[in-house]
Amino acid sequence: MTILVTGGAGYIGSHAVQRLLRDGHDVVAIDTLFRGHARAMHLLARAFPGRLTFIHADVADRALVEGILRARGIRDVLHFAAMAYVGESVEEPLRYYRNNTLASLALIEACDRAQVERLVFSSTAATYGEPDASRIPIREDCPQHPINPYGASKLAVERMLADWCASRARAGRPVAVACLRYFNVAGSDASGLLGEDHHPETHLVPLVLQAAVGVREAITIFGADYPTPDGTCVRDYIHVEDLVEAHIRVLGALRPGEWRAYNLGTGRGASVREVIDACRRATGREITERAGARRPGDPPELTADPGAIARDLGWKARVTSIEDMAASAWRWMLAHPRGYDDGAGGA
């Protein structure tokens, strides 16, 4: 079976491509390479010869995507392609609606025309906005009221997918859709082939590890006056391989006409300070902290209740320790201190 992965050269997308290839699937990966890495695709193509097709393109190109789907007879899609920086979305909201929402509309239209049967959408906990404390840990029935354009752009896609799924069912040609809402992702694959490399880097774990390795002088804590136990933001972290496992398990479980939504996470939150301390333990190095102002659009706490997917599909995060997540990311960073650009591992 051939599966289409959008955003396949990105951090999460490349790990999903790797897992699918390991499972014996052929994969077509699409990525603009705006924030994805061609090198990740080269490494995977070399590791799995003849099984990966990488296409440097934009999912917003409906005709091109439809042609790929038809030519390869693709029936399953994992949709990761998106911009995902909260602060940037506040500064450039229209860019986020164009790249996340409108591009996804084009993809859905292409899938509709090409008779795709199953689509799993990589959504976000940011669709919930800033839930009342009584709603945390967050369940899937929590009202979705995003407080930043990033979350709003993803919620719009969820609603399009729900309407598409319902309309296809009424027309007698059902499609199956799942929206997976998750929190902060961390870690690298156990083989050491792939890692996390963003430009600019905004994710907390790699930022802290960059301070440990000397790429940056210190880690800035953006706000220490939140209504949390230590004053810093609390998030539910999930290891990238657990996240990918959930996507693939959901894809395999979907049946015609279904629309599902699941929260993914460990069910336990960690504060910024707790993450920094975990990185100190994982690396054995001193890490300098600096105080910074709050970032716009950051809720104080987001933790998941992953009970629904556990009950339905038996999925639970295997890596629950922030220190273990940081340790896997640290191994990759030590081997690739400049990310994919360092050329480690050959051409």
Query: Catalytic: which of 150, 226, 237, 262?
Result: 150
- CA distances, 191 to each of 17, 20, 282 (Å): 14, 15, 18
Residue 314 has which token pair? 């038996």
Torsion of CA 118, 122, 123, 125, to 10 degrees: 130
Nearest-angstrom CA–CA distance, 339 and 199:
10
Upper half-sphere CA count for residue 241 (Cβ side, 13 Å)? 19
Is 97 assigned a catalytic role?
A: no
251, containing H or E segment: helix 240-253
For CA atoms 123, 47, 205, 222, give the dihedral sign: negative
Judged by DSSP in three states, 304 sits in strand
Nearest-angstrom CA–CA distance, 115 and 141:
30
Q: Is 225 exposed, middle or buried (0-12, 13-18, 19+ CB in 10 A)?
A: exposed
Task: Tell me: cis bond preceding 49? Omega within 30 of 0 counts.
Answer: no
Active site residues: 150
